Amino acid sequence: MISVRDGQNRILAEIAAPTPPEVVPLTRAYGRVLADDVRAPFDVPPADNSAVDGYAVASADIPAEGRATLAVVADLPAGSIHEGTVARGQTVRIMTGAPMPRGTGTVYPQEVVERDGDTIRVGPIAKGANVRLRGEDVEAGAAVLQAGTPLRAQDVGLIASLGQWQVLVHARPRVALASTGDEVAEPGEPRAPGQIYDANRFTLRGLVEQAGAEVLDLGIVPDVRDELSARLLDASRMADVVVTSGGVSVGDYDLVKDVLAELGGIDFWQVAMQPGRPLAVGRIGTAHFFGLPGNPVASMLAFMLFVRPALFKLAGRRALFAEAFEARTTEPLAKKRGRREYKRGVLAWRGGAWEVHTTGPQGSGILSSMVAGNCLIVLDEDRGDVAAGESVLVEPF
């Protein structure tokens, strides 16, 4: 038996280099992983500018008390600049975002100003009020985003604000996906007695896409040695990672093990966890191989724990693991010492604290538990039974 943590470390140690970088336009950059730091070529904003619609004045013209009268000498819309210098006793009508005219350093919002023809009357205001300073968002030369960051909407927006229209990202890892088993039928097709519809290829496809990788769909492979062998060998030539479900336990038709032992360097692991104990890990040619268990919850969990961090590392991401935090269980949880257990939970904020309860029956074939749940309850190896009210780790999914 191997622990979850050891298994993860061994898998990650096998992934030497991330996928090569490629240039994509910003319109295709969302969700991609940066291959290089993004640096600001200039200050953002590029000049001091007004944060409001109002009147720009010299700080020396701000009255300490009472009111001052200033002459309005120009009108400055956003996108234009004021050529001259604003003299003492003068002001410029300015719109939000317009660069501050030379000689000014404070803006009165138009709401606090009395305007009368070409003059305004103003009272005291803090020096520098309502001015956004050059470089206050980003300073020239600063690394605003680091290599290894998966790009969120705001990250793409920030790159765009630097005037860049394309960006260097890692190629998406290609993941070949197959379901194995004579009993597995394709949804939409008739199902023979004794058959079940394929769930795993669809849950796994979603997880692969969510991880920022591309799916090559190999369909369903029957429990026939030569066919399995040929399909997996093919897959290993097209993909960076090959993922199968089913056929890794000890049944008579669990052929994945035998076939892989012939094709490449494959380890079979009994991972000290529940659900999802049997797992085949290794390589076929240059492709990384993961043989996940057949039970739908077990295959999803094994993907989340072992395949996802590998895909993240392959895609050049820096953060590889989900964040966990603590919640209070509202029900007792049966737990066997010596293995890590993952229960499907419903997590909610109640009475000022995070509370969690299980989704009900926790069998590794009960996929509806993943549907009803919104988190994994993670119970570590050295923990025994958990009483209601105890604190447990949860990982939202």
246 near ligand AMP (CB under 6 A): yes
The closest residue (CB) to ligand AMP is 294
Tokens linked to 374: 């919104």
Select from 293, 309, 316, 373 the one that contacts ligand AMP (CB under 6 A).
293
DSSP track, 38-79: EE-SS-BSSS-EESSSEEEE-GGGS-SSS-EEEEEEEEE-TT
**Binding partner at 179 among Mg ion, ligand AMP, none, C-beta below 5 to 8 Å by kind:** ligand AMP
Select from 184, 207, 211, 273 the one that contacts ligand AMP (CB under 6 A).
184
**Binding partner at 19 among Mg ion, ligand AMP, none, C-beta below 5 to 8 Å by kind:** none
Select from 163, 187, 206, 251 the one that contacts ligand AMP (CB under 6 A).
251
Per the listing, tokens 């049997």 go with: 278
Q: Give the Cα separation of 232 and 217 in Å (integer).
A: 12
Q: Give the Cα separation of 169 and 28 in Å (integer).
A: 10
244 near ligand AMP (CB under 6 A): no
Q: What residues contact residue 168 under an 8 Å CB cut-off, 6+ apart? A: 21, 22, 23, 34, 35, 36
Select from 181, 278, 296, 309 the one that contacts Mg ion (CB under 5 A).
181
Cβ contact 38:144 at 8 Å: yes
Per DSSP, 150 falls in state B
**Binding partner at 184 among Mg ion, ligand AMP, none, C-beta below 5 to 8 Å by kind:** ligand AMP
Judged by CB under 6 A, which stretch of 64-72, 133-141, 240-248, 301-309 contacts ligand AMP?
Answer: 240-248
**Binding partner at 155 among ligand AMP, Mg ion, none, C-beta below 5 to 8 Å by kind:** none
Select from 7, 18, 150, 247 the one that contacts Mg ion (CB under 5 A).
247
- How many CA atoms are closer than 13 Å to the CA of 289, on its beta-carbon side? 30
Judged by CB under 6 A, which stretch of 48-56, 132-140, 153-161, 175-183 contacts ligand AMP?
Answer: 175-183
Tokens linked to 285: 């040619």
Cβ contact 211:306 at 8 Å: no
Amino acid at 221: V
CB nearer to ligand AMP: give 165 or 197.
197
Least Å distance, CB 249 to Mg ion, is: 8
**Binding partner at 309 among ligand AMP, Mg ion, none, C-beta below 5 to 8 Å by kind:** none
Q: Residue ranges of the alpha helices (H) in the chain? A: 4-14, 153-161, 200-210, 225-238, 256-263, 296-302, 308-314, 368-372
Judged by CB under 6 A, which stretch of 185-193, 289-297, 329-337, 340-348 contacts ligand AMP?
Answer: 289-297
Q: Give the Cα separation of 395 and 397 in Å (integer).
A: 6
Binding string, residues 189-228; x marks residues near ligand AMP by CB under 6 A: -------x-xxxx---------------------------
Least Å distance, CB 221 to Mg ion, is: 10
Q: Give the Cα separation of 178 and 244 in Å (integer).
A: 5
Judged by CB under 5 A, which stretch of 17-25, 167-175, 208-216, 239-247 contacts Mg ion?
Answer: 239-247
Cβ contact 20:67 at 8 Å: no
Least Å distance, CB 247 to Mg ion, is: 5
Q: Give the Cα separation of 61 and 30 in Å (integer).
A: 48
Residues engaged in binding Mg ion (CB under 5 A):
181, 246-247
Q: Which residues bind ligand AMP (CB under 6 A)?
A: 179, 181, 183-184, 196, 198-201, 245-249, 251, 254, 293-296
